[in-house]
Amino acid sequence: QSALTQPASVSGSPGQSITISCTGTSSDVGSYNLVSWYQQHPGKAPKLMIYEVSKRPSGVSNRFSGSKSGNTASLTISGLQAEDEADYYCCSYAGSSSVVFGGGTKLTVL
């Protein structure tokens, strides 16, 4: 299984919206609605932001949303805030009881 493909970096200004893509294959992202997204600030543990493609855990801002089309999942952050600056990782079930992560995307808030 290969890592899911994410852009290395994205950026946006406060108040804007950005979208981070996560491209897999028909063996992982394309076959299961089991994509999750994590936010990681420097030196901290990842935090669950989205699970099962588009569900938000309690306490996560509704500015964060997820979607999927074919083999590509996406995380959209609306109304960008300075605190959103972090690394973001996607994750998908890859069959045979295994999990694969994306390479990560660094979000810069300009």
Partner 1 sequence: QVQLQESGPGLVKPSQTLSLTCTVSGGSISSGSYYWSWIRQPAGKGLEWIGRIYTSGSTNYNPSLKSRVTISVDTSKNQFSLKLSSVTAADTAVYYCARDLLRYYFDYWGQGTLVTVSS
Which residues contact partner 1 (rule: CB under 8 A)? 1, 3, 34, 36, 38, 44-48, 51-52, 57, 89, 91-93, 96-104
Q: How far is the CB of 16 from partner 1 (least distance, A)?
A: 25
Of 26, 21, 22, residue with least CA distance to 3: 22
d(CA 96, CA 98): 6
The residue (of 86 and 91) whose beta carbon lies closer to partner 1 is 91
Q: Which residues of 14-43 are buried (b: 16+ CB within 10 A; e: fewer)?
A: eeeebebbbbbbebbbbebeebbbbbeeee
The residue (of 70 and 103) whose beta carbon lies closer to partner 1 is 103
The residue (of 12 and 93) whose beta carbon lies closer to partner 1 is 93
Q: How far is the CB of 15 from partner 1 (least distance, A)?
A: 29
Q: 30 near 13, Cβ under 8 Å?
A: no
Q: How far is the CB of 26 from partner 1 (least distance, A)?
A: 17
